[in-house]
Structure 1
Amino acid sequence: MKIFLILLTLNLCVWGADGANAQSASQSGFKIPVDCVSIFEARKDEIKKEIARLDEARQSLEAFRASSAALFEERNAKLAAKEAEINATLARAQEEKRQTEQLLKKNGEILKELKTMTSDKVGETYGKMKDQAAADVLSAMDRADAASIMYSLSPKKISAIMAKMEPAAASEITLLIKQGPPFIKAEKNVTQEVSPTSPDGPAGNLLNL
């Protein structure tokens, strides 16, 4: 603002000099000089200081803009790096989840295959046993286990073993086989429960009249 006022003063000085010279020339025939140079010289140092101040302010503004731009770019770069890191972490987590699910599925299939192989092996063993021997062993087992083994045998072999069993045991195992797997073990078999207060023998024994 100061430099603008100074320049305006100089312009007015020059304009005034031209006007004064023109008027004087028309009246007296000679020019009256106006000392604008001395005014400029008196203001020259002030003008230089003002120019230097404006230049310094301009440089400071440019430096601030450059610093702000650099800071903005740095923040954007950090945000982009953080986003990439998060995306990579999510990708690893998803891949680990996929691998875990595949492993669980594979382990489940292996376990199922092992159970099938074991059941088939046991069924094959009982299928080769004599009917009475198989009936005696199965009658002494938990009813759920016995039903699970007999479920893997052929209908003909099941009938032959059932014929050698006590009617109560055969009836209980038959009911379980009809319900189908999974065969859940009972806490106590009715044929094995004994009433401590009953003098007549095991409670629930269908043959105990």
Structure 2
Amino acid sequence: MENLLYWAGLSAVAVNALTGVLDAGRKRMDLIGVVMVGAATALGGGTVRDVLLARPVFWIADQVYLIVALAATLAVFFVVRNLRLPPRLFLIPDAFGLALFTIVGTQIALEWQAPWLVASLLGMITGVVGGVLRDVLCNEVPLVFVRGELYASAAWLGALVLVGLQALSVSPVAAAWAGMATVLVVRLAAMAFRITLPTYSERE
């Protein structure tokens, strides 16, 4: 399970860095701006999780995460900076990053003895905060706050699937894969079919 968490975490960092670059590129940021957005997107959610758990911040404890974030940011920047890309292209890798980070965050919280509900919320926070930072730095309303397709709720559902399966004595690895699949399927289905949560509407 430790190997799966480690490689899933590195993959999530790389994928989220990619989404940061794609979003920053639409704002015509220079290299420094892109690096800042990419790093914040890749490392922000896990940083908040670790601070809340009073745990050593993951990319400070193991700088491989920071190296991967910077390397992915620079590689994507130089590969795509002269290409014309669809404006919503970043949403696909964003869904994969959301799934990976949510499950990694939930499992880490469980290993640090967080109660099941707290662990599921910390998993959701790990998944969504990087995207919030990306959108704020790019001067956009964060996806998680927009009245649109399921986002944070998809992450929370996947985290609850992981917690629930482990409570039923399913192996942590199988539970992790099931949780990731849940987040990814729900998020992609919501994007494809415009599935949203009910919204508050005030009667006049």
TM-score norm. by structure 2 comes to: 0.29
Ranked by relative contact order (alpha carbons within 8 Å, sequence separation 6 or more), the top structure is 2
TM-score norm. by structure 1 comes to: 0.28
Structure number with greater Rg is 1
